[in-house]
Amino acid sequence: MKVLVTGGAGYIGGTVAGLLAQHGHTAVVFDNLSHGRRDLVPAGAGFVQGELADRAALESLFLAAKQQGQPFDGVLHFAALIEAGESMRHPEQFFRNNTASTLALLEAMLAHGPRRLVFSSTAAVYGEPASVPIREDARLQPTNAYGESKLLVERMLEWFNRIHGLRYASLRYFNVAGAPEDPAGILRGEAHEPESHLIPLVLDVALGRRNSVRIYGDDYPTPDGTCIRDYIHVSDLADAHLLAFDALQNHDRLIFNLGNGQGFSVLQVIDSARHVTGHPIPAEVCPRRPGDPAVLVASSSKAIRELGWKPRYTKLDDILRTAWIWHQKRYAT
């Protein structure tokens, strides 16, 4: 297969592009490198630097592939802004980058491209759930502009499927973590600027890059009083994307939640990091952040049942172990 991977120079997209290469497929990465890195594009993959909003460039890419007798079989779409907090300060950037730019991609696909797409969505489309674990038929009511920007894409995909026959899969998930244990020895890990995700923050403390990690509230109605969140290893997530892509040969519309199958509390993550790294990792309790639900866990039973998806990294220590290997290499002096 020949697949276009938008945002393929990033953490998740690069991992999926690498997995495609391992399976003998041709991956072409399309990325503007605003948050990705050229060296994260896997060996053997093609690379095109460009803006997702540039419909003409995408049409030219699809058309050239067809004229050369090597058309694209589909698109794996990861390019997006992801910081939910930032989306509440600058929602216009998220609607432009995540929603409007995806429309340009879809129009280019209709003009000269393939009719099969896997969309890297988010469980933020659910907002604050009425019950957990969250199922795919739960109410869709985002509480931030990031989630809304992704939900609008899902709405577009539904119409494009109905009217134009575009086959698509939307994969919804919460927190991605860990680093792929690549046979080529290339590890891609999680890092953001500024950093706001728990596992990289905790590992930064273990490396001495931060003095302590903050716990926002220890009085939630959970076993240890801290928030419980869903974590999925990036390699398990990549497996699900390829399974969904294959499933679109026989289905025209698929929606799956992806998660670890269980939630982990903030204290459990910190304790696991202490065990894996051998460092004490001081923590300080701070007041709750407004709008933080006590528990956010997605049900993956549908994906396991219908896709045959089998997460390999179900233990928190294993997820942290791979992340720790990458963090040490990244920040080695």
- Assign 262 to helix, strand or coil: coil
- Assign 45 to helix, strand or coil: coil
Residue type, 59: E
Active site residue 146: yes
Sole residue written with tokens 């039973």: 301
- Assign 36 to helix, strand or coil: coil
Residue 297 CA to its chain's centroid (Å) = 15
Going by C-alpha positions, the residue among 133, 130, 126, 129 that lies closest to residue 170 is 126
Find the DSSP H helices in 6-144: 11-22, 55-67, 84-87, 91-94, 101-112
CA distance 141 to 307: 26
Output the CA–CA distances (angstroms, integers) from residue 321 to 178, 203, 217, 333, in the order listed: 8, 10, 26, 20
Of these residues, 146, 173, 220, 231, which one is catalytic?
A: 146
Check if the beta carbon of residue 94 is closer than 8 Å to that of residue 149. Answer: yes
Q: What share of the chain is helix, strand, coil (3-state, %, to 5)?
A: 40, 20, 40
Q: What are the strands of the beta sheet with 116-120, ordered from one edge?
A: 46-49, 26-31, 2-6, 74-77, 116-120, 167-173, 253-258
Q: Annotated active-site positions, please?
A: 146
